[in-house]
Amino acid sequence: MTRPESAVHDVDDAGAVDDYDVVISGAGLAGSAAAILLARRGVRVALLERRSDPEAYKVLCTHSLTANAYPVLDELGLVPALEKAGAVRSEARWHTRWGWIEPRAAPAGPELPYGYNIRRSVLDPLIRSHAAGTPGVDLLLGHKVTELVGEGGRTVGVRASTPAGAREIRARLVVGADGRDSAVAKLAGVAARQHENTRFGYLAHFRNLPLRGGIGQTWFLEPDMAYAFPNDDGVTVLAVLPDKKRLPAFKEDLEGSFHAFVRALPDAPPIDDAEPTSKIIGLVDYPLHSRRPTAPGLALIGDAALTGDPLWGVGCGWALQSARWLAEEIAPAATGRGDLDRSLARYARRHGRRLRGHQFLAADFAKARPFNPVERLMFSAAARDASLARHMHLFASRLIGPLRFLNPLALAKASAVNLGHRRTAARPGRRPAVSVLGRSRR
């Protein structure tokens, strides 16, 4: 259990100045993970969360953690607790106009890497209580960061509003893990580079909504998108992400439009037999953001540094990964045993190297356009070839970057697969059948 505020920190000293090595704003996924990983390296951490409820969680999420999250969850020691809580392995298949891409382990090969589908109402309190129980972390609930303390051109602390009044907390490093609208980034004047997202999205939870094969499904409908993920406790999350041009008509009858959209999906899940367990919630304007992840005395992790397009379902994995990169790079310097600015520069380089390419592709795909020629090549070949389906799984799981995904060998293999497919199709009586948007086409 997460401890209540009064048990984890004495707030009688409102107005006093506290000193820590690191102060983190935001006890969501990124902030809690960073606090744990830093404290294990001997760093004294103040973890501030504006919400007072230890069970608070992010509502706007479809809770599918890609396989890049697994090593961090494992290092955090959360895997047994997640499995006990009923987390579902995040296996998935993707519908394209060439049929389903169904990544499967190679015969006699290792199992495919996986993450977990687990509702944030379970995951967020779990990781936060884990942080609260980590020696070296003070979880301060009900602490909203409202100002940064600066000295000599660098950030040296924060001021927070708390139920007991204002409080100043100083530290060698301030970490903004406070999400997409990061107050820390704004207060530090770190601008966000925005990329328009020309899709809108709505999601809802259901029970009794079986999915084919019991695994996640994503529909690429060019340009519309949809996905469905089985979660813990028998809950299936359904999300639709149509082109914004459809928004006015869609909003006229939200429930009717949502159901009609799902019903029209190829191999549609039986939504009319399912029991809704949440409202339909969504977002009509959700641009992608990237920010420079460091400034003097300051680092950004998770959505505060980079907010991708929700349609790829990768933000939770990146929140956890960026927390780990930061902890690995800055822990010694945060305790005064190294050059903090150099450590921050290393973190910034690592962050950019790992995520810039993904964000570039996501920003382009967020233009709600049909597949471009390279996507057509790779997606069509992956629907026809098991090893390319596995290759695509590694990319979708963010275990490889765009350069490895589109390496010359993979492109050559995809071309050969498609050529072979065309030759087979041209032979009289040997034309392979593929499912196109639910209809069987030759």
Parallel, antiparallel, or unpaired for β 116-117 and 165-176?
Answer: unpaired
For residues 134 and 128, give the distance between their C-alpha atoms in angstroms, rounded to a whole number: 10
CA count, 13 A, side-chain hemisphere, 399: 18
CA count, 13 A, side-chain hemisphere, 101: 25
Ranges of beta strands (E only) in 252-382 are 275-276, 281-283, 288-291, 294-295, 298-300, 306-307
Query: Mask of contacts with ligand FAD, 305-324, x by CB under 6 A?
Result: -----x--xxxxx-x-----
Q: How far is CA 83 from CA 73, 74, 86, 166, 266, in A?
A: 11, 12, 5, 40, 31
**One-letter amino acid for residue 309 of the chain:** D
- Under the criterion CB under 6 A, does residue 216 sit at the interface with ligand FAD? no
Q: Which is nearer to ligand FAD, 154 or 180 (CB)?
A: 180
- Under the criterion CB under 6 A, does residue 29 sit at the interface with ligand FAD? yes
Q: Which is nearer to ligand FAD, 98 or 325 (CB)?
A: 325
- Under the criterion CB under 6 A, does residue 89 sit at the interface with ligand FAD? no
- Window of 14-22, 55-63, 254-262, 385-393 that interacts with ligand FAD by CB under 6 A: 55-63
- Window of 21-29, 148-156, 395-403, 410-418 that interacts with ligand FAD by CB under 6 A: 21-29
CB of 48 to ligand FAD, least distance (A): 5
- Under the criterion CB under 6 A, does residue 366 sit at the interface with ligand FAD? no
For residues 115 and 394, give the distance between their C-alpha atoms in angstroms, rounded to a whole number: 12
- Under the criterion CB under 6 A, does residue 27 sit at the interface with ligand FAD? yes
Residue identified by tokens 């809802």 is 204
- Under the criterion CB under 6 A, does residue 76 sit at the interface with ligand FAD? no
Q: Which is nearer to ligand FAD, 26 or 266 (CB)?
A: 26
Parallel, antiparallel, or unpaired for β 17-25 and 165-176?
Answer: parallel
- Under the criterion CB under 6 A, does residue 327 sit at the interface with ligand FAD? no
Q: Where in 246-265 is the site for ligand FAD (CB under 6 A)?
A: none
- Under the criterion CB under 6 A, does residue 236 sit at the interface with ligand FAD? no
- Under the criterion CB under 6 A, does residue 271 sit at the interface with ligand FAD? no
Q: What is the DSSP string of 169-230?
A: EEEEEEEE-S-TT-HHHHHHT-PEEEE---B-EEEEEEES---GGGSEEEEE-SS-EEEEEE
3-state secondary structure of 337: coil
3-state secondary structure of 122: helix
- Under the criterion CB under 6 A, does residue 63 sit at the interface with ligand FAD? yes
For residues 184 and 25, give the distance between their C-alpha atoms in angstroms, rounded to a whole number: 7
Using CB under 6 A as the binding criterion, the count of chain residues that bind ligand FAD stands at 37
Q: Which is nearer to ligand FAD, 142 or 223 (CB)?
A: 142
CB of 104 to ligand FAD, least distance (A): 22
Which one of residues 22, 23, 47, 65 is an interface residue with ligand FAD (CB under 6 A)?
A: 65
CB of 42 to ligand FAD, least distance (A): 23
Q: Which is nearer to ligand FAD, 27 or 414 (CB)?
A: 27
* 16: exposed, middle or buried (Cβ count in 10 Å: 0-12, 13-18, 19+): exposed
3-state secondary structure of 360: helix
- Under the criterion CB under 6 A, does residue 186 sit at the interface with ligand FAD? no
Residue identified by tokens 């990781």 is 127
Which one of residues 303, 329, 375, 385 is an interface residue with ligand FAD (CB under 6 A)?
A: 303
DSSP label of 23 = E
- Under the criterion CB under 6 A, does residue 28 sit at the interface with ligand FAD? yes
For residues 313 and 420, give the distance between their C-alpha atoms in angstroms, rounded to a whole number: 33
- Under the criterion CB under 6 A, does residue 176 sit at the interface with ligand FAD? no
- Under the criterion CB under 6 A, does residue 232 sit at the interface with ligand FAD? no
- Window of 173-181, 270-278, 288-296, 358-366 that interacts with ligand FAD by CB under 6 A: 173-181
Which one of residues 26, 99, 103, 142 is an interface residue with ligand FAD (CB under 6 A)?
A: 26
Q: Where in 101-160 is the site for ligand FAD (CB under 6 A)?
A: 144-145
Binding site for ligand FAD (CB under 6 A): 25-31, 48-51, 58, 60-65, 144-145, 177-179, 183, 201, 203, 283, 302-304, 310, 313-317, 319
